Chains A and B, each alone.
Chain A
């Protein structure tokens, strides 16, 4: 069992703590949050020790893996953890900007811990099936991809006016990158609230595989209705993933029937929380097997951060922006 801790107990941090508690590959040995009451509630719920300071947690719990969620100075802490040889699974954003994310990801993995990124939306049978269809050439030459991802305002998005882009947007662009590879240029029209915080955005993309892409992100919707939709179209077929894991559908242009993979109520994904469980489980399994090097999600997090930086620059400047590679 992998000794695991969770630092930062926002919504996603709590999901990871619960996932860690029920994962047979994991031994959840501690949690930390600067909000002591919040930490106490979760510690009590899960029956795990809570700590007042990260240093104390590291000293006492001696974790092999640290899940790092929303915390101030998160990137500094991540750097410290990696230096100590602790593997880090970070929620988004991994760092305040793409450059700092790249610095973290570039650490020498021979001597340090491995950095990995959340990207839980990848971990569903529907995504696996869609990837299989697209990579297997079922859709023909790629033409376009559309991704929608929305929810209500998260419980902690702070004062960062770009949180929509660096958090929700990075998840959305990662799904897009799963199917098209790189994104070269973007253009964005956005909507802000009265405090100047971006709340909805429409992002046009030119992808490096020759397809055109688009991402809609919003913090102005709700979670009790569908929150996501992804469609990838090519010269031979179109693939649609409904609501992260509920359906994957293949529409072959020349055939009147469609092929649908529907999430099963037996052994399927029961709730979105299962996606965090599956993501963590894969990470922990890799730690146990010692093959973490194949987890390149930190690099993907940097790429997603670059796309989203270009998108919010576009929204701010009214420009079309090249994505730095």
Chain B
């Protein structure tokens, strides 16, 4: 049984704590927030010791694993400090996204975890669904052949105006992770964005991508559309077919070129995904399974290096907005973790 803690007790941190408590592979042993009222409220609600100093909690409780959900500017500026202290105390870490709102702290976080050979994952929860796994299986088997283009879209209503790049940095770790998961490394980008009426941030954007494989990609993102109707869509068109994944887990469709019959996998109402919270449950449980099973730090799924790669793509898009040009993604950020051979003989990780 893993001994776990949570640092950062806003709504997301509390959600992590609830999931830790409910998971059969973990025992939540403590929680921490710099705000004493939040720490106390969560500690009492969950029935675990609570702290306002992360180092003291880690020294006192010596957990195996820590969830970091501290937030901060652009939802990520406080991730680095909490993660670094957890890693220094020998804990495996699952950090909320974005790994950090800036690249340099993110690089240091990944480097420290690597140096200490600790598992460091990021909550890229949108793809921890049966439908997304199924889509990747189809891709790996070559069911659509070689990808030629990918389209992705995601939006929510988020009225915060915290920084010009808030929408880019905080929303698109998810979408870019899915795009890399399906089509591999992104080589070059271009962005057009607008500030919706009454807003001061780049709240709606169109991102164009060229993958290293030569396939092309496109991503629409927005903080201007309220939740309630479908909010996410991913499709990949290839030399033998097309797949379409709607709302992360609701429906996956394969349109084969050589048949007029399409294959549809629909989320069942018994035993299927319930709602969006299940993406958190699946993602966190997956990490617990990997830790329990002793999966090496560089083989875990949704690892921080891939979150860093996604942030590097976001950084290139911000540069594109500033220069008005096509910008290249730093190849030093590539991990190769998601490479697929698309049905051809060769390396095809699961």
Contacts and interface: CB of A to CB of B under 8 A. Distances in A.
Interface in A248-279: 251, 253-256, 258
A203 B230 CA distance: 24
Interface in B180-194: 188, 190-194
Interface residues of B, number: 44
B224 A204 contact: no
Contact of B214 (A191, A218, A225, A254): A191
Given A148-B151, A320-B324, A320-B325, A143 B206 contact: no
B347 to A, nearest CB: 23
A150 B326 contact: no
Nearest to B188: A189
Nearest to B224: A143
Interface string B193-232: 1101100000011111110001111101010111011100
Nearest to A221: B237
A144 B216 contact: no
B220 A144 contact: yes
Name the residue in B205, B229, B324, B325 with the highest tally of chain A Cβ atoms < 10 Å from its Cβ. B229
Contacts of B208: 187-189, 202-204, 214
Nearest to B211: A189
A221 B209 contact: no
Interface stretch (A63-71, A94-102, A205-213): A205-213
A233 B223 CA distance: 12
Contact of A212 (B192, B216, B226, B255): B192
A218 B222 contact: no
B225 A238 contact: yes
Contact of A204 (B153, B190, B214, B242): B190
Contacts of B191: 204
B196 A200 contact: no
B331 interface: no
Given A202-B216, A204-B206, A220-B239, A254 B226 contact: yes
A224 interface: yes
B61 to A, nearest CB: 44
Nearest to A188: B208
B342 to A, nearest CB: 14
Contacts of B196: 141, 143, 235
Contacts of A189: 188, 190, 208-210, 216-217
Interface in A229-252: 233, 235, 238, 251
Given A202-B149, A220-B237, A319-B325, A212 B205 contact: yes
B324 A238 contact: no
B218 A187 contact: no
9 contacts: A143-B196, A143-B225, A144-B222, A150-B237, A185-B192, A189-B217, A200-B148, A233-B155, A258-B229
Interface of A: 141, 143-144, 146, 148, 150, 185, 187-191, 199-206, 210-214, 216, 218, 220-222, 224-226, 233, 235, 238, 251, 253-256, 258, 318-320
Given A214-B208, A220-B237, A226-B255, 19 more contacts: A141-B197, A146-B153, A187-B208, A189-B208, A189-B209, A189-B216, A190-B216, A191-B214, A191-B216, A201-B216, A202-B209, A204-B206, A204-B218, A213-B206, A235-B197, A238-B225, A251-B230, A256-B228, A258-B229
Interface of B: 148-149, 151, 153, 155, 157, 188, 190-194, 196-197, 204-210, 214-218, 220, 222, 224-226, 228-230, 237, 239, 242, 255, 257, 260, 262, 324-326
Q: Shortest 3 CB-CB distances between A and B: which pairs?
A: A225-B255, A251-B229, A224-B260
